[in-house]
Chain A
Amino acid sequence: MSEIPVTQIDTGTHTQLDVANRKVWPLPGGVHPPENKAQSLQHPIKPMSLPAQLVFPLSQHIGAPALACVNVGDQVLRGQVIAQAKGFVSVPVHASSSGTVVAIEERPIAHASGLHGMCIVVEPDGQHESIEFSPIADYTQCSAEELLDTIRNAGIAGMGGAGFPSAVKLNAKQPIDTLIINATECEPYITADDALIRERSSDVLLGIQILKHIVQPSQEVLIGIEDNKPEAIAQLRAQCTEHDQIHVVVFPTKYPSGGEKQLIKILTGREVPSGGLPADIGIVCQNIGTCEAIKKAVVDGEPLTSRVTTVTGETVSPQNYDIALGTPVSHALAESDYQAQGNQPVIMGGPMMGFALANLDIPVVKTTNCILAPSVTERPPNDIAQACIRCGMCAEACPVSLLPQQLYWFSRSQNNTQLEKHNLFDCIECGACSYSCPSHIPLVQYYRSSKAEIRAEKADQEKSEKAKQRFELRQERLEREEREKEERRKARKEAALKAKASPSKQDVISDAIARTQAKKNNVAQADKSAPAAADSAKALDPAAAAIERAKQKRAEPATEQSPEDTLKTQIATLEKRIAKANDKMAALETSDSTKIDALKSGLALQQQKLDDAKAQLAAISSNAVDSASAPATDEPMDAAQAAIARAQQARAEAGNLSDDEKRAQQLTSIDKRLSAQQAKYDELLSSDPDKAELIKASLDKLQAKKAALLEASS
């Protein structure tokens, strides 16, 4: 492996080739690794026994993972849908044998990361019982849509390795002139397609006919196959003589001729544009294994439950198997006399593009065309990467005519702009550059990593663009709210000024009407603009109600009442309260003695307030109205404002406090009040024993409250 004979690297210098009277176009670059295909072709395809457990990953294809539609404990039959397709680019998953669903859980799946994915685990009962299949008797009578539905429902995804849902690929919007069937199988060791053609060429051909019926290519159908499969070619040629427009095109063996875009170039000379799809140039490509699966789905009505997979390498006895999907790799290896060699990895896929399995319990899926268990001499551990000597072998080997060396340097320096300029995303990750590198630099890994990084960067950019928009919109909204609030405040102020300037009764009433109207409008606006959260908060919050009341109170004295009136109403209410308290006391006298004390002290306070008010009233009436009115009007205003402020603060604080914190706050305020009262009490004790008695009562009340709070918090 360490020294590649120069002959293994194809320089792509030869021009056009003619094999069997049909022109093919040369592919630039490419390599000729040892083929190692003969080993696994010694015996015919052998059906593999059923394992103890079948594991079906929900994501065996490109696109959205399927949705499990069975439950643990359910009995399933072969061909039964156990997970449904989710979305357009998705396919269902079918049970590959009859048995019981024992688990739906995360299991290691066939992915280079070695990460786990959702899987349905079925324990086969050994009966291998199938559901009733519904075959289509004559597909030529069916429309393309019906057949595509059948293919989709059969769970068919590209079986060459990528696993793109076949129905989606066949449903091209563009007019198609050429249908290409990929029988290249260019990777070393893999012979699954070769064996399939040798043994089931009529089935394969029938599948191609069905595809032709669906796609209706305006020109022809080409089956591309490398010249290292003479038996398969002979079989296909023998089958094809009857069908006019189907041509078998043979071309020289070279890796990676089997890449979709590479095959199109070889067979038609046309190039798929960078970032485009084959359908853009009127071509649809399908793997030959997929053709056989499509034949089964349409003619036999049988969904995709098994596939041909090559098990090969020096540590097993190489053989092609017909494996039930979901069979763990360990079972397949055991069946082929696997002799584990130290830490030697088992590879899923070919030696060029496959990945080492982190866990041998990983199941065989729809895309598994090969399980390679090489010996140490066959695939020695990776050589240590040496410095790049700029020999340019990688550039010669690249089938896409990229500059792998430049890409390598840019990838190392994480120069993503340059990587994109050098068309990194056209790299098909075939590994020809890494294979030809005399310094053993793992070039493809650099490209894969850089590709992922660029994709992540793009996603981040998109996200930050969205975040920017949201931020700006929010900023705009906040500004608008602030502006509206300011306007409302201004309107209120103007109205108040106006009312003050012309305090005639008529004006006052019309102003009040205008105010309520404005308020209504504001509320309606606020409803529209402010988030619902704030509104419901207002409705629920008692503090908000208090603010409302206080506001009202403030508005009233400011506009309508003279100080004299205020005092008069105060006196009236106080008198009413005292009367009420007296009644209550009479009622309580007999029953509750503790409450009476409290009432008594309250009564005394009220009485005092009444006296004060009366005195003030007397003072006002005796004085000139002018001198008294100013302080008197100001005072209630201030009090109301203070009350609003307090209430607002209380609400703000109450909103974000937990119960404990609230209690703690209450306690501190009580303590404060207690100490203030105590001081007053001490002071009054000497001067005014009557008043001191009153304060004593409230002091007692506070202490009781404190005790209750302490009890609650503990």
Chain B
Amino acid sequence: MLEFIQANWFVAALLALVLLALVFGALLGFAAIRFKVDGNPVVDQINTILPQTQCGQCGYPGCKPYATAIAEQDEAINRCPPGGETTIQALAELLDKEVVPLDAEGVEDAGVKKYALIREDECIGCTKCIQACPVDAILGSAKHMHTVITSECTGCDLCVEPCPVDCIDMLQYPTTLTNWSWELPKDPQLIITDLGRGTESAINSSNQGDAA
């Protein structure tokens, strides 16, 4: 063996390389079949970031199609008004893209959570909103009053347009004892009358500052 290598070192090296290539090729081939990933994991990752309102304001019929478009067709990441800035930031971080301002033509209150409410006295029972709702959050049957299951409503706005009698309102969630929260303190803006506020030491220190 050793003699053969010493005698035909060139052939031996070549053989060794070929052998290695075959082994690694087989390994990779096996791994490719054994650990095959179904679907595009990036799509799912993007989809979890999107707010799942299924509103179609991005121009795609739902969040998943938009996620697919971002992943595969290089669609812009700033087309989700319900998600607002936070979604754009999360997407930019995930995909290593620039943070761009929201592309929201005609959308005034992007990022504000809302829910649909049917003015039930005015509902004529046409079932159009039921057909429009992407998450089956509207209950009712033909010629009977419909109502929105508020806890399931994503606030996508899609039921408002088809209503022939305009009895659906998009409302903001009211602040209640359960969802109230402390506000983040704002950075103080010092105005001249603030200088003496609080203790005497504040005044002293400001005087000292003047003297210095």
Contacts and interface: CB of A to CB of B under 8 A. Distances in A.
A474 B185 contact: no
A3 B201 contact: yes
B106 interface: no
Most chain B CB within 10 A, of A445, A449, A656, is at A656
A465 interface: yes
A448 B64 CA distance: 34
A468 B202 contact: no
A536 B142 contact: yes
Interface in B166-201: 175-177, 179-185, 187-188, 190, 194, 197-199, 201
Nearest to A385: B188
A115 B175 CA distance: 9
A543 to B, nearest CB: 13
A442 B188 CA distance: 11
A449 B183 contact: yes
B57 interface: no
A468 B63 contact: yes
A226 B165 CA distance: 69
A269 to B, nearest CB: 34
A380 B175 CA distance: 31
A115 B179 CA distance: 11
Given A384-B190, A536-B141, A658 B181 contact: no
A334 interface: no
B101 interface: no
A411 to B, nearest CB: 7
Interface stretch (A154-162, A187-195, A282-290, A452-460): A452-460
A444 B203 CA distance: 26
Contacts of B136: 470, 473-474
Contact of A2 (B141, B175, B183, B202): B202
Given A470-B137, A655-B126, A460 B51 contact: yes
B140 A383 contact: no
A113 B176 CA distance: 9
Interface residues of B, number: 46
Given A384-B190, A449-B184, A464 B198 contact: no
Interface in B43-69: 47, 50-54, 62-64
Interface of B is mostly: loop
B198 A380 contact: yes
A86 to B, nearest CB: 14
A389 interface: no
Interface in A514-546: 531-534, 536-537, 540
A467 B152 contact: yes
Interface in A607-632: none
A115 B185 contact: no
A467 B184 contact: no
Contacts of A460: 51, 113
A658 B152 contact: no
Interface stretch (B3-11, B12-20, B23-31, B127-135): B127-135
B36 interface: no
B142 to A, nearest CB: 4
Interface in B86-116: 113
Contact of A456 (B62, B140, B181, B184): B181
A230 interface: no
B63 to A, nearest CB: 7
Contacts of B198: 2, 380-384
Contacts of B179: 456
B70 interface: no
Nearest to B61: A475
A353 interface: no
B135 A474 contact: yes
B39 to A, nearest CB: 14
B197 to A, nearest CB: 6
Given A111-B177, A471-B54, A474-B136, A380 B199 contact: yes
Contacts of B52: 463-465, 467-468, 471
A389 to B, nearest CB: 14
B204 to A, nearest CB: 10
A182 interface: no
Interface of A is mostly: helix
A316 B63 CA distance: 60
Interface string A534-574: 10110010000000000000000000000000000000000
A349 to B, nearest CB: 15
Nearest to B82: A464
Nearest to B142: A537
Nearest to A457: B86
Interface string B118-130: 0000001011101
A113 B177 contact: yes
A367 to B, nearest CB: 14
Nearest to B190: A384
Interface in A89-119: 109, 111-113, 115, 117
Contacts of A536: 141-142
A453 B181 CA distance: 8
A537 B143 CA distance: 8
A630 to B, nearest CB: 42
B135 A470 contact: yes
Contacts of A658: 124, 164-165
B197 A384 contact: yes
A380 B128 CA distance: 61
B154 interface: yes
Contact of B62 (A380, A384, A471, A534): A471
B177 A448 contact: no
A450 interface: yes
A25 interface: no
A471 B50 CA distance: 13
Contacts of A537: 127, 141-143
B124 A112 contact: no
A2 B201 contact: yes
Nearest to A444: B182
Contact of B185 (A1, A445, A471): A445
Contact of A59 (B134, B137, B142, B177): B177
A414 to B, nearest CB: 8
Given A3-B201, A467-B52, A471-B54, A533 B130 contact: yes
Interface of B: 47, 50-54, 62-64, 113, 124, 126-128, 130, 134-137, 140-143, 152, 154, 164-165, 175-177, 179-185, 187-188, 190, 194, 197-199, 201-202
Interface of A: 1-3, 59, 109, 111-113, 115, 117, 380-385, 411-412, 414, 442, 445-446, 448-450, 452-453, 456, 460, 463-468, 470-475, 531-534, 536-537, 540, 655-658
Given A449-B185, A453-B181, A470-B136, 17 more contacts: A115-B177, A383-B197, A384-B188, A384-B197, A414-B184, A445-B182, A448-B182, A452-B181, A460-B113, A465-B52, A467-B53, A467-B154, A468-B63, A468-B64, A536-B141, A657-B164, A658-B165
28 contacts: A3-B201, A59-B177, A111-B177, A111-B180, A113-B175, A115-B177, A115-B180, A380-B198, A383-B199, A384-B190, A384-B194, A385-B187, A411-B184, A445-B183, A446-B185, A448-B181, A448-B182, A456-B179, A460-B51, A467-B135, A467-B154, A468-B63, A470-B152, A471-B64, A471-B135, A474-B136, A533-B127, A533-B141
Q: Which 3 A-B pairs have the closest CB atoms?
A: A452-B181, A464-B52, A533-B141
